[in-house]
Structure 1
């Protein structure tokens, strides 16, 4: 009687192993990141070649951006140009057809069908079509990412229905501590687009450097954009050592306008950040009258620490900030302007007669309410230009500005509080989404110096931006999520890539894919295959994931 039982157990285990093997094969064959909402494998493949024709809708405004991205990809790899057929023509053999589907759930949604005869991409807008192209690109061999001897590109047959979980999917890069060349920013934007990230938050000003040309205030370029030296090693090391080298740079308004256009062509919005009232030492070095102290020579920061010197609430300060923001908004057309608001010690305000006079005049309780007054004044100005502000969660202190969106970085507490007050929120808690943290348990032995903390790939992947404590109505105020790359200890583009990827790949799935579709084991299998694309793109990603137990064997 026991033998049939054991046969059943063996059969069950055999079938389970077969199922696991099939899942592993699918993970390699359909190594898409972020994971689509629905993916149905089909039999066969489509062979894209020099005779493949691109078909656009009759009203093709914007759709050609998506189609030309695919055409440029193939041209750069194989050397030939894909031709365009007659707009509005019905899909036929060996075509990649872009079709408008007004019934899809939102402007970023798409469906993708690949079969032996051709490819059909349906979307409501060009934005959805562009995201579909990124999915198609990831289904193609990695050779499509650079010059190759390969002339044809097989794409496995599949049916995909996809749409993002969140409308805001962002990555922030801090260029205030270190200046990064424009060419690197373009590459970074390309990589964000690859993962369907739609917002690039550019942190432009810091105690250690001011990175945007402001024509009305030339000393920001002459003085605030440069520091005389930079700390070597960790700022906490004693005694501190410095490199004695001048560092700096800034982006001209023309360079930034071109960068904005470059990002727009990839359906990415750039949100600029001008930090206030804190993180303003570089600006004070250029224009000391904006500070609270007299007879003081401010200097651009050379080491990493929160500074007590911040903008003083003089009328001249508000005039300066309004002038700066006017030029910022002329360059950046984004709905949101980020005004910082974080890490602003109140020591100088407590000592300043001018600051105390504002508190008295406005009937404010204390310096925290003075910061709220400061932020509200700036918000009113930004709103008058038809824009809205975002601030770090410190802007909650002393009372939140009426229309502000909160970026919750000190955990989720600030975001929860803001959502309960019916304010929009972007979740970006440091414990899950600060990509300047160490990536391995043996950090000091295996990694370059970082700010601290420990944030492995799996922890990034595990994050859910909607706290369980929120009601359904409150949860609607969670616009999305953002990963941040602060650069106190990241001075080169290669190092920035090492810290960003593949953790930003995991983050992309947090931001795009619904929780029930996420599976870390499956993600790792996809990532191993997907990393071949990153290799061809010459991305200096952190390779630690390849050493995770069982991954290399499973991915063979």
Structure 2
């Protein structure tokens, strides 16, 4: 890929630019074609540049309304970026024009070519949608900070990797008005996304007008209040509600269509239906009464598939949905549907007997009852010319014959569905849940559901794993990220959680894996962020913060700290907890830490856009930075940097067990051996467990410390039994200190045993997860 060269004839160009500059300041800025998502091929060449002047026109084919709308978009984009709004005309190509055309012969309908020379810019697409993506590339190539733009001669050939490039917005938990939804669609269009998954119904609110069932919005769209925080038991006392009229929905669908985005509605069934049951209690197993839910979670009351009127309801609702949304797909949810009501409901049990459903293959008859619901709704929608998408729970029981699976609980559901010959959209929580925190340092963050999905994690996602054959990979239609809004109330908060992670998502969706490189992506990202600023988007700025890579070294027996910034801004740090300034020590390579310190670091920039202060408390013990071996295997999802985490002196500050500070083990005991390198006397051992029982993570049941001089024969030093007396869910950091008479040894073996989940817990009888951040011997 050639780099843009400074033109030899800049003096002559300068004279022209001064005569046509909208600002009159004469500043010349070159376009940069290395945008996000990165085009497939960029080849620059020698020659005169194209100069964007006030006389420029956009030329389109006559009689093509989609191309006229494309031209109007481009004119608007150029006016925002440069102050120049070109006129639009039809006809033949002229000098000094931007030409938009279809007719590119390419198997990918979204492929385009852009050619620039001194006379014109031409964007030719395999479809009008393809031209729109070329327009986005042109738009994003223009520097956001103004000036007179010149376009170096170039040929760009580009096409997306995946046909389904999606983003979901949940408006059921917190409603957003129609104008915001349009703005959200604009954000998707900026990043070349083409699917908007609109989550319209859930336990906490029904957001779509259904004329056959007016109580869905009269009753189901309103909740009397909302829980404060994470199901604290306290409520805000404020009614919350709202819904979209059918006219508003048609307007939003058309708005998206003009931007080549298909809106996929979701009506979640048969679970997550309390808002519907509150309006029509006869559709439930117990008959109610029900309320629109004010807390978050999964609830036992769901639709009753034993009653025929339930299917009448669903078919009438979906008939109106079909009339509003022309998309091929209708999303029917299918996730998190408890079966406890069905197990006792005479109607459901009669339906099970009628269908001759039995427990088999690890699934109950009630699981197969949900499969019946899914298959029946699929048949109804197929007869209307539509197809269904469901969350990966629809794999439980029997998968409906034509269903597309949206894999969210990990990659496994998507892999299984692809191997069965079903189409798949990958959206696993570990990479694609934008309601998760995007930084480890959550104390100053707006409240989020938990988890940890930083931008680099999103960028690292590979949706078509190597375990699949090429034929099976063809079933991976694409990638989607999800924004659930339990803790996201405002438009500004939505922006903050989406951007800039959506930029990383865009490259995963558009760019072939061999052409993706995170460091190069970071060099391109600030230019896109400049456009966010110009458009007034409230994006997260963690990318400009100091990034710290902290690794225990068993060779130097220290914590090796590497600091960096996206733009190589100078970094200043302190080790005593004081606030760093330009007078503090300037970072010049690597920091080695062997003792207790509070590291604080800041990037100081000439433009005054200094980073937030990075703060990390490091607590060294006698076992810190000593070689450690794990004799049991951590869960691959929660292994992070591995066994060194147990002796790195870094502690989890909260119960966000996905932050990278806790190492997780699934249902097995943890056995670790620490080599102190020489005989070392200790009198205490401290082990910390992260506990989130709602996620099946419990405290330890027993901790055993043993000592050895040769790493072969161990003698027990201390054994401590632990009993969890709680009878409801709890979440905290459990700290256990084993104290004993002085013992001296070179090797210490620590065994931490998991808890068997109690009878009150949904996982009763199973061994719980264990999460540990540090083993401190002193």
- Normalised by the length of structure 2, the TM-score is 0.65
User: Structure 1 residue 181: deviation in Å?
Assistant: 1.1
> 1:139–1:156: 8 Å Cα contact kept in structure 2?
no
Name the structure 2 match of 1:251.
Answer: 244
User: Structure 1 residue 58: deviation in Å?
Assistant: 4.6
Name the structure 2 match of 1:367.
Answer: 366
Matches within 5 A, 1:90-489: 91-142=93-144, 153-235=149-231, 237=232, 240-294=233-287, 296-313=288-305, 314-365=307-358, 366-443=365-442, 445-489=443-487
Q: Taking structure 1 as reference, are residues 130 and 97 closer, same or farther at Cα in structure 2, changes over 3 Å only? A: same
Alpha-carbon distance between aligned partners in 1 of 2:378 and 2:455, rounded to the nearest angstrom? 37
Higher alpha-carbon deviation: 73-82 or 161-170? 73-82
Measured against aligned partners, the alpha-carbon deviations of 1:182-236 in whole angstroms (never above 9, x if no partner) come to 111111101100111000000000100000001111111111001011111222x
Aligned with 1:55: secondary structure?
strand
Name the structure 2 match of 1:33.
Answer: 36
Matches within 5 A, 1:532-551: 532-547=530-545, 548=547, 549-551=564-566
Name the structure 2 match of 1:497.
Answer: 495
> 1:167–1:480: 8 Å Cα contact kept in structure 2?
yes
Higher alpha-carbon deviation: 113-122 or 479-488? 113-122
The one of 62, 67, 89 equivalent to 2:66 is 62
Alpha-carbon distance between aligned partners in 1 of 2:211 and 2:89, rounded to the nearest angstrom? 47
Name the structure 2 match of 1:4.
Answer: none
Higher alpha-carbon deviation: 108-117 or 184-193? 108-117
Larger of the two Rg values belongs to structure: 2
**How many residues matched?**
521
Alpha-carbon distance between aligned partners in 2 of 1:310 and 1:474, rounded to the nearest angstrom? 35
User: Structure 1 residue 93: deviation in Å?
Assistant: 1.7
Name the structure 1 match of 2:733.
Answer: none
Return 5+ residue gaps in structure 2 as ranges: 7-28, 359-364, 548-563, 570-604, 607-778
Name the structure 2 match of 1:3.
Answer: none
Name the structure 2 match of 1:520.
Answer: 518
User: Structure 1 residue 499: deviation in Å?
Assistant: 0.4
- Alignment RMSD, CA only? 2.1
Alpha-carbon distance between aligned partners in 2 of 1:344 and 1:396, rounded to the nearest angstrom? 13
Name the structure 1 match of 2:568.
Answer: 553
Alpha-carbon distance between aligned partners in 1 of 2:535 and 2:79, rounded to the nearest angstrom? 15
Q: Taking structure 1 as reference, are residues 156 and 288 closer, same or farther at Cα in structure 2, changes over 3 Å only? A: farther
User: Structure 1 residue 332: deviation in Å?
Assistant: 0.5
Aligned with 1:483: secondary structure?
strand
> 1:34–1:513: 8 Å Cα contact kept in structure 2?
yes
Aligned with 1:137: secondary structure?
helix
Aligned with 1:40: secondary structure?
strand
Measured against aligned partners, the alpha-carbon deviations of 1:281-311 in whole angstroms (never above 9, x if no partner) come to 11000000000013x3101111111111111
> 2:405–2:417: 8 Å Cα contact kept in structure 1?
yes
Alpha-carbon distance between aligned partners in 2 of 1:252 and 1:135, rounded to the nearest angstrom? 35
Measured against aligned partners, the alpha-carbon deviations of 1:380-429 in whole angstroms (never above 9, x if no partner) come to 11111110100000011110011110000010111111111111000111
User: Structure 1 residue 155: deviation in Å?
Assistant: 3.5
Alpha-carbon distance between aligned partners in 2 of 1:28 and 1:206, rounded to the nearest angstrom? 46
Alpha-carbon distance between aligned partners in 2 of 1:85 and 1:325, rounded to the nearest angstrom? 43
Say which structure, 1 or 2, has more relative contact order (CA 8 Å, 6+ apart).
Answer: 1
User: Structure 1 residue 68: deviation in Å?
Assistant: 1.5
> 1:457–1:503: 8 Å Cα contact kept in structure 2?
yes
Alpha-carbon distance between aligned partners in 2 of 1:231 and 1:30, rounded to the nearest angstrom? 47
> 2:436–2:450: 8 Å Cα contact kept in structure 1?
yes
User: Structure 1 residue 31: deviation in Å?
Assistant: 4.3
> 1:234–1:449: 8 Å Cα contact kept in structure 2?
no
Alpha-carbon distance between aligned partners in 1 of 2:464 and 2:435, rounded to the nearest angstrom? 23
- Normalised by the length of structure 1, the TM-score is 0.90
User: Structure 1 residue 117: deviation in Å?
Assistant: 2.2
Matches within 5 A, 1:2-17: none
Measured against aligned partners, the alpha-carbon deviations of 1:228-284 in whole angstroms (never above 9, x if no partner) come to 11111222x4xx221010001000000000000000000000000000001001100
> 1:70–1:133: 8 Å Cα contact kept in structure 2?
yes
Greater per-residue helix proportion = 1
Alpha-carbon distance between aligned partners in 1 of 2:90 and 2:322, rounded to the nearest angstrom? 40
